[in-house]
Amino acid sequence: MNDAVEEITVPPVKRTRVSAKKRAEMTLQQERAAPAVHANRQYETWDEADIHAEASKPWLRPSSLDAPPPRNGFAQRWIRVGSFGKDDPTNTSRKFREGWRPRPSSTVDPKYHSPNISQGKWAGCIGVEGMILCEMPEKIREKRNAHYMAKTQKVTDAIATDLQNESRPGMPITQERTSKVVKNVKIAED
């Protein structure tokens, strides 16, 4: 048996440097030559978009709690349903007893991109990072706010009454919105 090994000589590959611009042009040509599989995607139509119109807008810091505009006759706010991966049923049930209800994602205009929850207890609602967007009819919200304003006023009046009862004669304590220091100081005559 003859074990002969045949040697094959491969010529060295000549490598040339390609600039980033040239590489981008080559990639663009390859993409254009490929069949368009997802022609309806937005990023593939950026060639037709006026990018300079976007550049003239002021930059705003992005917020993860951007909410769609409220529906007519409703007020809305974000309600915490959990934190650090744990549910917060105490907070949720307290807010629901106040009259807040989760806003379904089906109530939002399709033009507005809202963060939707797709699975779990809050599936079908607008939510992000342990928060869900809740809404309440404005009439109920006005009644709720009036209740808390009356409660706050009652406490404020009680404090003012206690201050008046504890004040010394000749030094009445008044409730003013601004502070001022009044002090009689004797100035030494030299």
The reply to whether 33 falls in a domain is: no
The reply to whether 165 falls in a domain is: no
pLDDT tens across 116-165, in order?
888 888 888 988 888 999 999 999 999 999 999 999 999 998 988 888 78
Pairing, β 101-102 against β 82-83: unpaired
How far is CA 125 from its chain centroid? 15
The reply to whether 144 falls in a domain is: no
Return the structure tokens found at 108.
Answer: 């939002």
The reply to whether 155 falls in a domain is: no
The reply to whether 79 falls in a domain is: yes
The reply to whether 171 falls in a domain is: no
pTM given for the model: 0.53
The reply to whether 57 falls in a domain is: no
Say if CB 136 and CB 99 are below 8 A apart: yes
Q: How many domains does the chain have?
A: 1
Residue 138: the pLDDT is 94
**High-pLDDT (> 90) share of the chain, %:** 25
C-alpha distance across the termini of the chain, in Å = 129
Confidence of residue 28 (pLDDT cuts 50, 70, 90): low
Domain with 99 in it: 74-137
Running DSSP on this structure, what letter comes out for residue 44?
G
